Structures are given as C-alpha cells and as structure tokens.
Structure 1
C-alpha cells in the first residue's frame, strides 16, 4: 500500500508525457532491488524528471536509453516493470546479488542493444522472449544460477556479437547457429554439442595432422608455431612490446590482419607436459570480464610455450604515465579514475568469481592495459598460479616487481588475495603521482626511495598538491585525489588481514564506506607512528652513546 501511494504521488507530480511512466517503472525497479537509503537516493517519487536521476541516461527527447547499476550491492529481484522502458538500449546490473527469475518482459525492450546481468543470483530458465530483441548485440548472463536449456530463439538474433552464458547450470544442446557469433562462452555448464563431431566445440585433426585451432566453448584457439613466427616476423626484437617475469611480449599480425600480442614464456613449469599446460590455459580462458585481458589462444612445442592475446593499441598504464612519445597526450584525471575502478573490478572478478580463484601476484601499472576507449584491462593474470582454496598458498618462487610486492609475500612466499590488494594500492599511487614504485633519484632530496613512504610523508604533512602528477597541470579534483590516496593507503597496510577485499575497494571507489574505514585506519596509524618514534628515539640515544668519544675511551682497556 505504501508503494502504491508513493507511485500515485509520483504520477500526480509529473507532467503528462514520457517522464511519468518511465519514472514509475524505474522507481518500481528501485523498490524491487531493495536499494538501501544510500543507494539511488535521488530516485524519488517527488522528483519530476527521471532523466536527472543518477545512473540513468536519456536522449534529447527525455527518453531513457541507459540504466547502469553495476556492482552496487543490490539484492532483491528485478521488477517486470522494466519491460515498459521501450527506448532503453543499455541495461547493466552486473556484479550485484539479485535473485529470482529474469523477467520475460525484458523481451519487450525492442531498442535494447546490450543486456548485462552477469555475477548475480538469477535462477530459472533464460526467457525465450529474449529472442524478440532483434537489435541486441551483447547478451551477458554468466555467473548466475540459470538452469534449463538455451532457448532456440536466441539463434534468431542476427545482430548478436557476444553471448556469454558461462558458469550457470544450463543443460541440453547448444543451438548450432550460436557458434557463428563472434564471441561466445558456454563453459561451466552441462551443455552438449550435438552429434556432429566436426562441430566447433570439438577439437579435431585436419588433413595435415595440426590440431584444429578451435577448442572447447571459450573459442580458445591452438596456433601453429609457424603461424606465430610469421606474425611476429620471427620474433623480431623491433616487435617487442615489453618484457616481464614471464617472458617477452611481441606485437604480431595474423594472416587475416588481426593485430595480436604474443607472450613467449621463458620460465614455465608444466610437469604434465602439453596436456597440463592446455588445461591451465583453458582455465584462464574461462575468466571472462570486460576488465580482464581475453586469452585468444596458445601454442606449444617441445621447447616453446606461447600465449596469444588481442593487441591493446593504447598499450599500458605505465606507458601512458611515464613513457609517452612527443605529441602523445597524457591520461587525464577522469580517465585515471575510470582506470582505477576498472582495474579493481577486474581483480574482484579474479578473486571472488573464479573457481578456483586466481591470484595475480604482479599487479602494477605495466600490467594494466588500455583498450581503444582507454578502459582498463588487467593482463598477465593466471600465469603465476591458479590458487585452489583447498590447497596451500605456499609457493616455490616469489613472483612480482620490487616496490609492488607485499611484505608478507616477500618474506614468507605466501600469496593470497591480499597480496594483490597491496599491489593494487601501489598502482593507485602510480596513477595519482605518475611516478614509479621505486625511484632512487629521490635519494638526492630525501630518504624515501619507495613511492609508498614518499606519499605517506606528504599525506601526513597535508601536502596533497605535491603528490599529484605535475603533468595534469592541476586539472583534477583535490577531494577525489584525497579519496584515491586514502584507498591506496588502506590497501597497502603492513598487515594483510587489515587490507580490504577488492569488492570493498570497488565500493569505496564508488563512494560507499570509505569515510568510516579511513577514520579507523587513522586512529591505528597514529598509535603505530607514536610507538615507532618512541623506539626510534631510544635507538638514537643508544647510537649516540656508541659514537661519543668519551664513552669509547672509558670503555677501553684499563
């Protein structure tokens, strides 16, 4: 009854036209998703125009065209009222905890081009009504609890570019036409491919005996070594994009003119041979997220292990911060904020939505790549180790880059999600300052060669402007800078147990829960610093006595 009067008040306050039914629908969505008082607080019945609401975009005619409610901690169910938003082209609810069935009324959204419900708790079948969405290009339903078969109606979506249905409880055959889509992932289900052994989801041998390049559901390809040799001009040094702990990365061009990045591993361990290596890369390929670098394929020979990725034309965050060529533009502050959030979401996915979970172990600006829209794409994940929660985290070799490695990992060799959180915190400081994690040039002015210590000192002195990258020319919001530094310092606490999980980092970057966590940290940090200074004074007193000439003489032989 309360909801009825709220909607009635909403309708009475609105002028006749488009805004009224759109606002009613959106308010119903908010109510059914059980948004808290801090979430969608401007979605109110007495607000005249829903086009002014947060996370809502409209066209010039006040038609709602986009609703994005990603990673907001929403629960409840999705209201069927959403189906009345006929002009909606983008609906993104990924990364929440939404339950219940996917409303069949979504099939009424004739303008919809992108539907993303990934990482929720939807149950029941995929509505066959989604086959009515003739303009749909991207359908992402991965990591839910969907059951039943894949509707044949999806095969009629001629404009569909990407279909992501992995990690559900789907069963039955896959409509064969769906294998003609450019990007698809059906892994993590109990699906069958039909009776045709030449179907794309079955590996086969061609007439020359090279294994076919199409393997399993994730479109993971097995390349011939000669193919990659030609693509990289015989792994020519002029094509080297970078070099890290796992080997060199080469720019390459395939026979169909597709640009790729080929990682040539120099330090790999696969005691089970090719089969074990293939199983590992197939597990990596299942980790599909917009902020993770997609694995295209691989190649193995008796002496080579190679991985093939899409080429990222804007290279890495490290390049954009410190290695720009004359004439190339810097990364502005809004883009840096977007990179910070995108990277956090990618790591959250690896830690909390992959099974077994994936620990990166070398999070840094050089391993965060940028696509054509400067969106963050985390690379190099899964190469160090796939960590099974049932097994020990002790590793035989510490991976990573000095200045980015968490202290407990360096001293014990034990890695966990919180070692990645530490590296992420250092990466945030790189984004804010533009500087390297270790810079020995600072020895000329101070003792803090570590970026973390340098920033902590300036933060204590309340010299935030001295922290920010000078290349930004003061084009930034100082409050947003302060927020990002606070998140970074919370992530880089010495004790791994005190660092936030990546899901909490995402929420803090979105403005939820940071203030309370920061206040708690400051109280603890002040106590620690006072204890440190007390011990330091005691050490200095003892040190002075050693270097006092009288003391030395008195302690001599008598």
Structure 2
C-alpha cells in the first residue's frame, strides 16, 4: 500500500471542508435574503405610516383632524389627504387645516413623495434640514404659515423640484446658493419674509419668481426686478403663473381636439353626431381627481371601438362591461352604467367615486378613473385577464384548466378578506349588495379580486328615499333585503355564503333544470338537502374529478350554511368568516347551528302534520319565500 504524504491528506481535507463551508454559507445567505425580501414590503409600509403619524403628531392635530390616520392600519394609502401610486405614498396635502405645531423631520423616509402641501396653516418652527432628502419631490408649498429660521441649504439636493413656495412666513437669513443647482425649477415664491442679502443670479433665469417684501438686493439699483410673472403678492402671483401656463396648453388642446374631431368624423361618416358631444372643456383631456383619472367620453369610445358588442366582457344589473385598450396600449375594463334616470349629479357622483377609490386592498378591484357626461356615467378598471370566478367555473373552453381545489380555497379566503375590509375598515363602510361568483375576478395569479363594490351606492347617489331599489341577482339576495329594501353588511354575508356554494358545486344559484329530478331550484336548498343526507360527494363539482379534501369541502359548506341563515342577526360578521376559514371557531358555531336547525325542523314538521301540508319541508318553504317576490 502506498501512503500519501501527510501534507497531501491535510490539503484534501481542507479543500473538502472549504467547499462544504461555502455551500452551507450560500444556503444561509440565500435564506436570509429571501426573508429580507419578504419583510421589505411590510417594513416599508410600516415605516411610511410611522412617518406620517409623526407628522400628524408634530402638527398638533386635534381629535377631529385626520381621524382616519390610524397607526394600527399599516397601509397609509387608505388615509384621507394621502395619495398613493402602487401603494407608495406620492402626495400629502394638508392645506388650510388650522395646524399650529411644527414640521416633523421623520417624513424624510418618503423617498417617492412628489408633492407636499401644507400652506394656509399656523405652523411654527424651522423647515427641517431632512426635507432635503425627499429626492422625488417636485412641489413644496409651505406658504402662509409662521415658519422661522433660514431656508435649509439641503433643499438644493431636491434635483426634481419644480415649485418652491415659501411666501408669507417669517423666514430669515440668506437665500441659499444651493438653490442655483435646481435645473428643473420653474417657480420660486419667497415673498413677504425677512430674507436678506443677495439673490443667487441663476434664480432670475426661471419662469416665475417673487422676492418682494424682503430685505433682498434687487430693484432699480440692481440688474433685476424682484418679481417676474406676478404682481402685488404671492397669491396673485400664483394665479397669474397658473393662468400663464394653462391658457396656452388649453388653447392647444382645444384646437387639437377640434382637429382630431374633424379627422375622425371625416373617416367615420354615418355615426350620430351626439356621440362626440362631451362635457364642456373635457375634449381629449384628463383631469386629476384625487387618485383617479378623468377620461373623456371620446377616449373611452375609441378604446372600446365605439362600445362594440364584440368587446362586451359581461352584463349585469348596473350595465355592460367592455374590454378596451387606451392610447398607451393599457388594457382596461370599462363599465357603462345604465341606471341614471336624469342628467346632472356630477358632484355627487364624483364624491362617491372618490370614496370608493380610497378603498385600497389587495382583494378589491382598483378603480383607475371615470367619465361623466350629461347622460352617461362610466367607470374604468384594470383588465383582469383571467376574468371572473363564474366564467372559470361554468364557461371553461376546451383545453383551458379548471379551477382546482386549492385555488377555490384561496378565492374563498381572499373574497372574505376583501369584504371584511369594506365592512370593518372603510369609513363609511361599504356594502356590496351583489356578492356572487360573477363579481369576483381573478388576477394573473388567480387571486380573488372583488369587483363592483360600491356601485349600488353610486347609482343611488341622487335618490333621497331611506330604502333603495333592491339590487342583486336572483338566488343571491338575502330574504330581509328582498322584503324590506334595507341592506346591511349581513346582506353581503348571505351573498358570500351562496358564492361559497358556487365554488364547491360549480353550479348557479338558481337552476331550473333541477325541476326534472327534484323540487329544489335554489342551490341553497339543494345543498342543504344533500348535506342532511350526508351525500357530500354529490355536492362537489364533478370537474374536480375527486381531486379535493372532503373534510375541507365539509368545512366550506358549513361556513356557507352559517352565512345563509334566514335571520341576519344569526349570520357571522365577515371578520368571523375569515377566522373560520382559517380554522378558528367553526366547530363551536356549527354545533350551535345544528341544534337550532334541528329544533326548527321539528317545529315545522309538527305544523305540517297538524295542518296536513304534505311532505314539503321548511327548506322548500324557504325556497318559495326567496323566489316569490322576484
């Protein structure tokens, strides 16, 4: 046997150990990085909210101000006066609210903030140096406060800054030379302060400036005037500035609109003239309205090929939904509302649209924008490429995959979370009034997105009756809503329970084909019957081909039956539904329900025998009640 030298053996050992160590090190690093990526979103949202809460506290906001700025809600995009883009805070507008505190330096964390407006308050103290770290800021408006101290030189770091408005304060010292480095600056308003010294030469080259009401070196003894594009004070200067910028733009847009209109009409002779009529001043123009875009009628007409029937995605009680493609190739879904009895009501409609737009949740359909004309109301949403749950359950084309059981469970939980948010985290709360599989959409990952929430309120916005027109779909409408016209969050719970049965069975809420085999036209009655007979396999969608967990099916049916109890007081809240779907508290509620249901059945059977009503059970009687008023 040939022995290897000791140093050779030692060298091989070190090499093997080194490779193993490196492999282990890579695994550990990959795991750490993965965890960091998962936590980054939560970390950022949480700290963004903390920064805004710090601003609220430093401004000495009263108990009646910014009440919805709740530190327990991680996502500040749901708060008033805050505008987000893709769940990132971009605009904070707290104008003329009577704040008397100071400015918090902690908002420097809002790196994507583009607009900060705090004008018209009584804010004291200095402008924090940290504001120079708001690298995306394009507008800083602190006019008409009581700010003191010098203008921070750090503001020269705001390379994207376009509007700097610090007029009518008590600022002192020199204008920092660092402002000369701001190449994108269009407007500087520093009038009515206690500033002194020489004005940086480059600031005289921008479009709009006002340095009056200070001890600055300008005027007839120097080469420049202290004001350009404004006269007699900062408020008037801003008005002149805005008019000076907007008038040429509006003229160009109007002329361009007429030109495009002429070209369009020359190519499409035969269209009725009125389809081109728009609200005055809205031709080919988008107006920012909160987080929303305001579309012109013609823009949506072009996007949907004149609302062609070939682009219809669906139709319901609120109108038709059309697939559309905007000018920038963005795919959208355009809902054309039909329930407007008279023209007008723009202000009320816009207020309700804005209310809906602030409901931001991963399981709620995001509203992109809207359009109003004297006779039309349209809403614009993102296009959901996987369409609705109903279409995936009952309109699957050959070769397309069905919704597997794990996806159906995810849809059930996601929908519940979306409804919980509408009921318990929106102020005022939003009641959907038409919860069904057709109104639950699927994004690219087949996650549930609740659509059409708030539409019932939108179309009733001009009505003054206490009770409104009953809205919904046969088989999904709660009995108390049908009989009284009064809806509540428990109305949605009932509809959600029916939707769960749609998920389990793949069937419609009402199916008259069942008359050939039994008396149960309503899906709810059909499932109750099979559940009593312990025939759960006869309940489950045959398209699943036995690929499901029967215990999970039983749990989902139990939740559905708890949600569809005839008395709204007996139904669980959506927050409780979420917990039951996650495995908490279902057994106790189900045992209680069974006891009540057995007692109820025995009482009806006793009455049946007494009055010789035949063999119809309470369940068929419920079916008669639910379908009778429709």
Q: TM-score, normalising length from structure 2? A: 0.58
Distance 1:91 1:295, change over 3 A: closer
Deviation at 1:60, TM superposition (A): 8.8
Once the two structures are superposed, what CA deviation does each residue of 1:73-111 show, in whole Å capped at 9, x if it has no partner? xxxxxxxxxxxxx56545659999xx999999xxxxxxx
User: Which residue, out of 303, 312, 319, partners 2:391?
Assistant: 319
Question: Partner of 1:425: helix, strand, or coil?
Answer: helix
Once the two structures are superposed, what CA deviation does each residue of 1:250-284 show, in whole Å capped at 9, x if it has no partner? 00000000000001111036786211111111111
Residues 239 and 250 of structure 1 are in contact (CA less than 8 Å); yes or no, is this contact kept in structure 2? yes
Equivalent position of 1:215 in the other structure: 288
RMSD after superposition: 4.2
Question: Partner of 2:354: helix, strand, or coil?
Answer: helix
Query: Following the alignment from structure 2 to structure 1, what is the Cα–Cα distance between the partners of residues 75 and 472?
Result: 43
Residues 426 and 488 of structure 1 are in contact (CA less than 8 Å); yes or no, is this contact kept in structure 2? yes
Question: Partner of 1:404: helix, strand, or coil?
Answer: coil
Equivalent position of 2:535 in the other structure: 463
Equivalent position of 1:433 in the other structure: 505
Distance 1:100 1:535, change over 3 A: farther
Equivalent position of 1:519 in the other structure: 591
Residues 210 and 224 of structure 1 are in contact (CA less than 8 Å); yes or no, is this contact kept in structure 2? yes
Deviation at 1:235, TM superposition (A): 0.4
Once the two structures are superposed, what CA deviation does each residue of 1:469-514 show, in whole Å capped at 9, x if it has no partner? 0000011111111111111000000000010011111111111111
Query: Following the alignment from structure 1 to structure 2, what is the Cα–Cα distance between the partners of residues 298 and 394?
Result: 27
Equivalent position of 1:177 in the other structure: 136
Equivalent position of 2:562 in the other structure: 490
Distance 1:375 1:536, change over 3 A: same
Question: Partner of 2:579: helix, strand, or coil?
Answer: helix
Residues 371 and 379 of structure 2 are in contact (CA less than 8 Å); yes or no, is this contact kept in structure 1? yes
Residues 433 and 472 of structure 2 are in contact (CA less than 8 Å); yes or no, is this contact kept in structure 1? yes
Residues 311 and 324 of structure 2 are in contact (CA less than 8 Å); yes or no, is this contact kept in structure 1? yes
Deviation at 1:428, TM superposition (A): 0.3
Once the two structures are superposed, what CA deviation does each residue of 1:11-43 show, in whole Å capped at 9, x if it has no partner? xxxxxxxxxxxxxxxxxxxxxxxxxxxxxxxxx
Residues 108 and 134 of structure 2 are in contact (CA less than 8 Å); yes or no, is this contact kept in structure 1? no
Alignment of 1:277-288 (within 5 A): 277-288=349-360
Question: Partner of 1:261: helix, strand, or coil?
Answer: strand
Query: Following the alignment from structure 2 to structure 1, what is the Cα–Cα distance between the partners of residues 521 and 304?
Result: 38
Residues 94 and 120 of structure 1 are in contact (CA less than 8 Å); yes or no, is this contact kept in structure 2? no
Equivalent position of 1:537 in the other structure: 609
Alignment pair present for 1:289 and 2:361 = yes
Residues 358 and 387 of structure 1 are in contact (CA less than 8 Å); yes or no, is this contact kept in structure 2? no
Residues 89 and 110 of structure 2 are in contact (CA less than 8 Å); yes or no, is this contact kept in structure 1? no
Query: Following the alignment from structure 1 to structure 2, what is the Cα–Cα distance between the partners of residues 178 and 529?
Result: 67
Equivalent position of 1:263 in the other structure: 335
Alignment of 1:379-394 (within 5 A): 379-385=451-457, 394=466
Query: Following the alignment from structure 1 to structure 2, what is the Cα–Cα distance between the partners of residues 266 and 294?
Result: 21
Unaligned runs of 5+ in 1: 1-57, 67-85, 105-117, 127-136, 164-170, 181-192, 544-558
Distance 1:153 1:492, change over 3 A: same
Alignment pair present for 1:237 and 2:309 = yes
Bigger-Rg structure (1/2): 2
Residues 235 and 250 of structure 1 are in contact (CA less than 8 Å); yes or no, is this contact kept in structure 2? yes
Unaligned runs of 5+ in 2: 1-26, 55-67, 77-85, 92-100, 116-122, 140-162, 166-186, 188-237, 255-280, 616-630
Query: Following the alignment from structure 2 to structure 1, what is the Cα–Cα distance between the partners of residues 588 and 75?
Result: 41
User: Which residue, out of 445, 458, 462, partners 2:517?
Assistant: 445
Equivalent position of 2:620 in the other structure: none
Question: Partner of 1:284: helix, strand, or coil?
Answer: helix
Distance 1:263 1:386, change over 3 A: closer
Question: Partner of 1:359: helix, strand, or coil?
Answer: coil
Residues 386 and 444 of structure 2 are in contact (CA less than 8 Å); yes or no, is this contact kept in structure 1? yes
Equivalent position of 2:430 in the other structure: 358
Equivalent position of 2:20 in the other structure: none
Residues 353 and 458 of structure 2 are in contact (CA less than 8 Å); yes or no, is this contact kept in structure 1? no
Question: Partner of 1:263: helix, strand, or coil?
Answer: strand
Distance 1:88 1:298, change over 3 A: closer
Once the two structures are superposed, what CA deviation does each residue of 1:436-482 show, in whole Å capped at 9, x if it has no partner? 00000111111001000000111111111111100000111111111
Deviation at 1:239, TM superposition (A): 0.4
User: Which residue, out of 17, 28, 34, partners 1:65?
Assistant: 34
Once the two structures are superposed, what CA deviation does each residue of 1:214-250 show, in whole Å capped at 9, x if it has no partner? 42442x0100110000000000000000110011110
Query: Following the alignment from structure 1 to structure 2, what is the Cα–Cα distance between the partners of residues 125 and 225?
Result: 33
Alignment of 1:289-308 (within 5 A): 289-308=361-380
Question: Partner of 1:443: helix, strand, or coil?
Answer: helix
Distance 1:102 1:484, change over 3 A: farther
User: Which residue, out of 548, 551, 556, partners 1:479?
Assistant: 551
Once the two structures are superposed, what CA deviation does each residue of 1:121-157 show, in whole Å capped at 9, x if it has no partner? 449999xxxxxxxxxx965899xxxx97585534546
Query: Following the alignment from structure 1 to structure 2, what is the Cα–Cα distance between the partners of residues 150 and 284?
Result: 32
Distance 1:337 1:541, change over 3 A: closer
Q: Which has the higher helix share?
A: 2
